[in-house]
Amino acid sequence: MNPARPSSRAETRWGLQLKLILSMLLVGVVPLMVGLGLAFWQGSREIQVVNGESFKALAEETARKIDVLMSDEVTRTSRIAVDPSIILELEQRRDALLGMTEDERRRAMDKLASGWEAKDTAAVQTVTGGKMAGLIQEYLSGAKSEADQLIPQVVRSATKMLYITDIEGNLVAALTTMPPFANKNTVWWKGAFNRGVGQLFIEDVYFDERAQSYVISISLPIMDRIRYGVVGVLHRVIDAKELISPSISPIRFGKTGHVMLIDHRGIVMSCPILPTGVPLSDAQLIPLVTPLQPGWVSAPSDGHGGQSTSLIGFAPVPETSRATNSDLIKGSWHTFVWQASDELFAPIRHLLTWMAVFSIIAVGLMTSLGYFAAHRIVMPVRRLQAAAQLIGRGELSQPIDIQTGDELQDLADEFNRMNRQLEAAFAGLTDQVAVKTQQVESLLHSTDEILDAVPTPIIMVDHDEQVQYINRVGRDSFHAIPTSTASIPLFDILPVDAAARAHLRKEFRRAQRGGNAATTSGTEDAAAISTARDPLTPVMGTAEPNNRQEIQIGSRRYHYQWFHMAGRNQGEDRIGLVFRDATDDSLLQDQLIQAEKSGSLGTLTAGIGHELNNPLFGILGLGEAIEGEADINRVRSYARDIVQHGRRMAEIIRDFTGVAARETSDQRQPVHLERELDQAIATLTTSIDASGLTIERTYAGDTCVLALPDQLRQAFTNILMNAIQAMKGRGVLRLSTSLTNTSVVATITDSGPGIPKQHLSKIFDPFFTTKGQGEGSGLGLTVARRIIKKFGGDIRIESQEGSGTSCIVTLPIIPISPPTQEASCTESASRSMPQPSPS
Residue 699 has pLDDT above 90, yes or no: yes
Looking up residue 650, the CATH number of its domain turns out to be 1.10.287
Number of domains in the chain: 4
**215 and 77: one domain?**
yes
Q: Is residue 366 part of a domain?
A: no
Distance, in Å, from the CA atom of 657 to the CA atom of 651, rounded to the nearest integer, reads 10
List pLDDT tens digits, range 305-322.
Answer: 888 788 899 999 988 888
Full domain range(s) for residue 568: 454-581
- Of 284, 317, 343, which residue sits at a domain end? 343
Cα 336 vs. chain centroid, distance in angstroms? 51
% of the chain surpassing 90 pLDDT: 19
Q: Is residue 377 part of a domain?
A: no
- Of 329-343, 618-632, 771-785, minimum mean pLDDT range: 771-785
Mean pLDDT of 114-129: 90
Is residue 278 within 8 A of residue 225, CB to CB? The reply is: no
Task: State residue 597's pLDDT score.
Answer: 58
Q: What's phi and psi for 687, nearest 5 deg?
A: -110, -5
Q: Is residue 464 part of a domain?
A: yes
- Of 248-262, 280-294, 538-552, minimum mean pLDDT range: 538-552
Q: Is residue 415 part of a domain?
A: no
DSSP string, 253-292: ETTTEEEEEEETT-BEEE-SSSPTTPBPS-GGGHHHH--S
Looking up residue 784, the CATH number of its domain turns out to be 3.30.565.10
**713 and 790: one domain?**
yes
β-sheet bridge partners, residue 316: 334
In what side-by-side order are the strands of the sheet with 805-812? 693-698, 731-739, 743-750, 805-812, 794-799
- Of 181-195, 343-357, 795-809, minimum mean pLDDT range: 343-357
Burial class for 588, CB neighbours closer than 10 Å (0-12, 13-18, 19+): exposed
Distance, in Å, from the CA atom of 783 to the CA atom of 603, rounded to the nearest integer, reads 12
List pLDDT tens digits, range 141-150.
Answer: 877 766 666 6
Residue 549 has pLDDT above 90, yes or no: no
- Of 310, 343, 376, which residue sits at a domain end? 343
pLDDT band at residue 803 using 50, 70 and 90 as cut-offs: confident
**640 and 706: one domain?**
no
**633 and 549: one domain?**
no
Q: Is residue 240 part of a domain?
A: yes
**750 and 815: one domain?**
yes
- Of 343, 378, 393, which residue sits at a domain end? 343
Task: State residue 481's pLDDT score.
Answer: 66
**553 and 616: one domain?**
no
Residue 516 has pLDDT above 90, yes or no: no
Residue 614 has pLDDT above 80, yes or no: no
Provide the 10 A C-beta neighbour count for residue 478: 18
Helix (H) or strand (E) holding 577: strand 574-581
**622 and 483: one domain?**
no
pLDDT band at residue 486 using 50, 70 and 90 as cut-offs: low
List pLDDT tens digits, range 59-71.
Answer: 999 999 999 988 9
Q: Look at 87 and 570; give whichever has higher pLDDT.
A: 87
**729 and 775: one domain?**
yes
% of the chain surpassing 70 pLDDT: 82
pLDDT band at residue 606 using 50, 70 and 90 as cut-offs: low
- Of 488-502, 607-621, 659-673, 709-723, minimum mean pLDDT range: 659-673
Is residue 91 within 8 A of residue 224, CB to CB? The reply is: yes
C-alpha to C-alpha distances, 766 to 370, 414, 778, 781, 788, nearest whole angstrom? 100, 90, 6, 8, 16
Q: Which of 164, 165, 178, 107 is nearest to 136 (CA)?
A: 164
Task: State residue 87's pLDDT score.
Answer: 92
- Amino acid letter for position 330: K
List pLDDT tens digits, range 44-53.
Answer: 788 888 888 9
**Three-class secondary structure of residue 522 per DSSP:** coil
Provide the 10 A C-beta neighbour count for residue 10: 10
Mean pLDDT of 742-751: 92
Q: Is residue 139 part of a domain?
A: yes
**134 and 206: one domain?**
yes
**205 and 258: one domain?**
yes
Mean pLDDT of 551-579: 80
Distance, in Å, from the CA atom of 568 to the CA atom of 576, rounded to the nearest integer, reads 15
Is residue 211 within 8 A of residue 224, CB to CB? The reply is: no
Long-range contacts of 719-722 (CB under 8 A, 24+ apart): 719/748, 719/780, 719/781, 719/784, 719/807, 719/809, 720/680, 720/681, 720/684, 720/748, 721/614, 721/684, 721/780, 722/776, 722/780, 722/781, 722/807
Distance, in Å, from the CA atom of 591 to the CA atom of 610, rounded to the nearest integer, reads 29
Q: Look at 14 and 620; give whichever has higher pLDDT.
A: 620
Mean pLDDT of 11-24: 64
Q: Is residue 396 part of a domain?
A: no
Is residue 288 within 8 A of residue 161, CB to CB? The reply is: no
Q: Look at 56 and 422; give whichever has higher pLDDT.
A: 56
Looking up residue 516, the CATH number of its domain turns out to be 3.30.450.20
Task: State residue 409's pLDDT score.
Answer: 75
DSSP string, 80-129: HHT-HHHHHHHHHHHHHHHHS-HHHHHHHHHHHHHHHHTT-HHHHHHHHS
List pLDDT tens digits, range 223-236.
Answer: 998 888 999 999 99
Task: State residue 657's pLDDT score.
Answer: 59
Task: State residue 526's pLDDT score.
Answer: 36
pLDDT band at residue 743 using 50, 70 and 90 as cut-offs: very high
Q: Which of 653, 657, 651 is nearest to 708 (CA)?
A: 651
Q: Is residue 359 part of a domain?
A: no
Averaged pLDDT of the chain: 79
Residue 164 has pLDDT above 90, yes or no: yes
> Which DSSP category does 220 fall into?
E
**756 and 624: one domain?**
no
How does 184-206 read in b/e, with b if 16+ C-beta sit within 10 Å? eebbbbbbbbbeeebbbbbbbbb
CA dihedral angle for residue 693, residue 624, residue 621, residue 675, rounded to 10 degrees? -80
Q: What's phi and psi for 386, nearest 5 deg?
A: -65, -40
Residue 540 has pLDDT above 60, yes or no: no
Distance, in Å, from the CA atom of 37 to the CA atom of 45, rounded to the nearest integer, reads 12
pLDDT band at residue 602 using 50, 70 and 90 as cut-offs: low
Task: State residue 647's pLDDT score.
Answer: 81
β-sheet bridge partners, residue 163: 174, 235
Provide the 10 A C-beta neighbour count for residue 162: 24
Provide the 10 A C-beta neighbour count for residue 832: 19
3-state secondary structure 297-360: EEECCCCCCCCCCEEEEEEECHHHHHHCCCCCCCCCEEEEEECCHHHHCHHHHHHHHHHHHHHH
**492 and 620: one domain?**
no
Q: Which of 295, 391, 300, 392 is nearest to 341 (CA)?
A: 300
Q: pTM score > 0.85 for this model?
A: no
Provide the 10 A C-beta neighbour count for residue 410: 12
pLDDT band at residue 739 using 50, 70 and 90 as cut-offs: very high
pLDDT band at residue 774 using 50, 70 and 90 as cut-offs: low
